[in-house]
Amino acid sequence: MRKVVETANASKGDGPYSQAVTSGGFLFISGQGPLDPLTGEILGTDIEEQTHFTLKNILQILHAAHCTTDHVVKVTVILSDMRDFERFNTTYKSFFDKPYPARTCFSGGLGDILVEIDVIAKLP
């Protein structure tokens, strides 16, 4: 059984998917990018800024599900360019405390954005 989690404080996307769903004691957040929740416009011009805005969207969805970054167990990251990895990591580390969640990071075609992140969190 799935329950949808939504918030107006994070970007909604435009595809046939939910911002997030809960199932089996976990929260599954769909891929988020650096999009303004109100306008859908891309925020930030470099990887650090876009990572910041992407994780800010994720934080809003976590909060809507009564979770924090401490509940995150798995993160998947798609970077437009793997040469941005170290700069991405600097911003990423400012959002998570040790022990860090498990993570996969790879490069893929993202169109106009530099980063997309999805998250799995254990519900409290």
pLDDT tens track, the chain, 124 positions: 899 999 999 998 778 999 999 999 999 999 999 999 999 999 999 999 999 999 999 999 999 999 999 999 999 999 999 999 999 999 999 999 999 999 999 999 888 999 999 999 999 9
pLDDT at 39: 94
pLDDT at 71: 98
pLDDT at 6: 95
Which residues, including other chains, have CB under 8 Å from residue 90's CB and lie 6 or more apart? 48
pLDDT at 18: 95
- Strand 3-5 and strand 20-23: pairing? antiparallel
Element (H, E) at 48: helix 47-64
pLDDT in tens, 24-60: 999 999 999 999 999 999 999 999 999 999 999 999 9
What are the structure tokens assigned to 51, written together?
A: 């990572």
Which domains occur in the chain, in start order? 3-122 (3.30.1330.40)
Share of the chain above pLDDT 70, in %: 100
